[in-house]
Amino acid sequence: MALPDIHEECGRVLDGSRTRRWEERTSGRAMPGMPLNTGAVEARAAITRVLASWSGVVAEQRRTATPRREVRALAGFLLRHLDWLRGHEAVVDLAEEVAGLMRAAARVVDAPPKRGMSVGGCTVAGCGGVLVAWVARDPGKPPEVVCTETPGHRRALHEWLTPGAEPADADGDAPRPAAATTPLWLSATDIARLWQAPRGTVYRLASEKGWRRRSRSGRTLYHVGDARQSLAERGRRAAP
């Protein structure tokens, strides 16, 4: 069963220890930027969930102990019972689920990377994840802030930056309101990428509008609240 191997590949994409095949084919080296990949998080979670579910079915019907909830242990358990599974009435469903998991994980491993950056801790109370701002692949969609621990904890970047706008999560967990008011400082390159604006426009607006700035390790960083307001005004003027 190849699922454990592609599960590990998704893990290497997730933590940046592996160069994506797309990057190897096009550049021969890893692209810069935040390596965290929410698609890899979701693919790995789905593999574990499906293998654990089917292992539970086998253990219950064959009256045997379930393996530990670890992908290689789960896959090995199912392989040991493969002859029995071949005769199970739901074996077609199992085959289809495994094939779907393989396709989804392969898309993650081979996908062109989305560059992102950490913007602080998750705003949902009790969640220990890190929020990462991602540029959407679709130019018509705004950048999103997504939790690395629970991908369902997500907002559009401009919503997350608006004080008091953080929602409860889908399960009703309460947000931590203070997180959105924490100052966030980004470089002109990062601002241009997140708002999909020319870098020259960012520098011009920073000068004209007097954005707050600070220097860190020789780089000039701008206050995101100032950038958001100026770029929002620019967007409204450009709208028909």
Q: How many CB atoms lie within 10 A of CB 190?
A: 21
CB atoms within 10 A of CB 159: 15
Q: CA-CA-CA-CA torsion for 127, 129, 133, 134, nearest 10 degrees?
A: -110
Q: What are phi and psi of 224, to 5 degrees?
A: -65, -35
Identify the pLDDT of residue 140.
Answer: 56
- Taking alpha carbons only, the member of 162, 168, 164, 167 closest to residue 178 is 164
CA–CA separation, 110 and 104 (whole Å): 10
Per DSSP, the three-state class of 119 is strand
pLDDT value of residue 34? 43
The pLDDT value recorded for residue 165 is 44
* CA separation for the pair 137, 116 (Å, rounded): 12
- Cα 151 → chain centroid: 6
**Res 161: pLDDT:** 64
User: Residue 127 and residue 150: Cα distance in Å, rounded?
Assistant: 8
DSSP codes, 181-222 = GS--EEEHHHHHHHHT--HHHHHHHHHHHT--EEEETTEEEE
* Contacts for 76 with CB less than 8 Å, ≥ 6 apart: 67
How is residue 70 written in tokens? 């670890």
Residue type, 228: R
- Identify the pLDDT of residue 68: 92
User: Is this model's pTM higher than 0.75 or not?
Assistant: no
Per-residue confidence (pLDDT) for residue 52, from 0 to 100: 94
The answer to whether the CB of 120 falls within 8 A of the CB of 131 is: yes
Question: What is the chain's pLDDT, residue by residue, as a tens digit (240 residues)?
Answer: 578 888 888 887 765 554 444 333 333 333 334 445 677 888 899 999 999 999 999 999 999 999 999 999 999 999 999 999 999 998 899 999 999 999 888 887 766 555 566 777 787 888 888 888 776 555 556 677 888 888 788 877 767 665 544 444 434 444 443 344 445 788 888 788 777 788 889 999 999 999 999 988 778 889 888 888 898 777 666 545
Cα separation, 48 vs 124, in Å, equals 24
